[in-house]
Amino acid sequence: MNVIDTATVVPLQPLADSEDDQLDPHVWLDPTNMIKVTDAVRDKLAAVDPGHAGDYTERAAALTQDLTKLDQSFAAGLKSCQLEDFITTHAAFGYLASRYQLNQIGVSGISPDAEPSPARIAEISDIALEYEITTIFSETLVSPAVAESIADDLGLRTDVLDPVEGITPESRGQDYLAVMDANLAALKKANGCS
């Protein structure tokens, strides 16, 4: 009964390069979308528990401040990059890429554990060479085998972009803000950002 569907707060966008108009649910990977979600959660909690509305407002304001700083860090950190393109095994970063004028190239699409076809792997290899990609990204919750295989074949690095779908001991941080900071550092390194 007291549920918020984030798709009503931030409309879902079609997944880039999707042949079947699949929608991308990863709205939270754009910090400005998280501000909208924060506002919606604040309002819902205040309506459900009006006695603590002030607490929800105060905490939402603090989180919004942190998310605004995160957005500013991404904007500044990714402003001057040698590369605009990045390859990731899980195409979860469309909102982030759109926000910061990058181009996500997904190996397997939106499903993190889908196996790409040999033709798709060959296509990704060609793209990596054409766009002088330095790094193939995987994520913490899925085997990095596909990323490692492509990277090994091309002499590239691998690294992690975390879609913040579950914090594990292997995560580069124990909350959203820390993991997103790690994602920014990984993108800056891979894309030669100054």
Tens of pLDDT along 112-167? 777 888 999 999 999 999 999 999 999 988 889 999 999 999 999 999 999 999 99
Strands 23-24 and 13-14, how do they pair? antiparallel
* Residue 27 resides in a domain: no
* Residue 99 resides in a domain: yes
**Does 16 score more than 90 pLDDT?**
no
What residues are paired with 159 via a beta bridge? 137
- The stretches of 4-144 forming alpha helices (DSSP H) are 6-9, 31-48, 53-77, 94-99, 118-130
What residues are paired with 87 via a beta bridge? 105, 136
What residues are paired with 158 via a beta bridge? 136
Where does the pLDDT of residue 18 fall: very low under 50, low under 70, confident under 90, or very high at 90 and above? Answer: low
Give pLDDT tens digits for 21-71.
889 999 999 999 999 999 999 999 999 999 999 999 999 999 999 999 999
Provide the residue count of the chain: 194
Distance CA 124, CA 44 (A): 43
Given a contact cutoff of 8 angstroms between Cβ atoms, the answer to whether 68 and 74 are in contact is no
* Residue 92 resides in a domain: yes
What pLDDT, on the 0 to 100 scale, is given for residue 26?
Answer: 95
* Residue 159 resides in a domain: yes
What pLDDT, on the 0 to 100 scale, is given for residue 190?
Answer: 98
What pLDDT, on the 0 to 100 scale, is given for residue 90?
Answer: 87
What the block records as the tokens of 98 is: 């759109």
Handedness of CA 114, 97, 29, 40 (dihedral sign): negative
Tokens 């997944």: give the residue.
15
* Residue 177 resides in a domain: yes
Structural domain span for residue 122: 82-190
Domains identified in the chain, total number = 1
Where does the pLDDT of residue 77 fall: very low under 50, low under 70, confident under 90, or very high at 90 and above? Answer: very high
CATH of the domain at 114: 3.40.50.1980
Distance CA 173, CA 171 (A): 5
Report the run of H or E that residue 153 belongs to, with start and end. helix 145-154
For 136-175, letters b (16+ CB in 10 Å) and e give bbbbbbbebebbeebbeeeebebbbbbbbbebeeebbeee
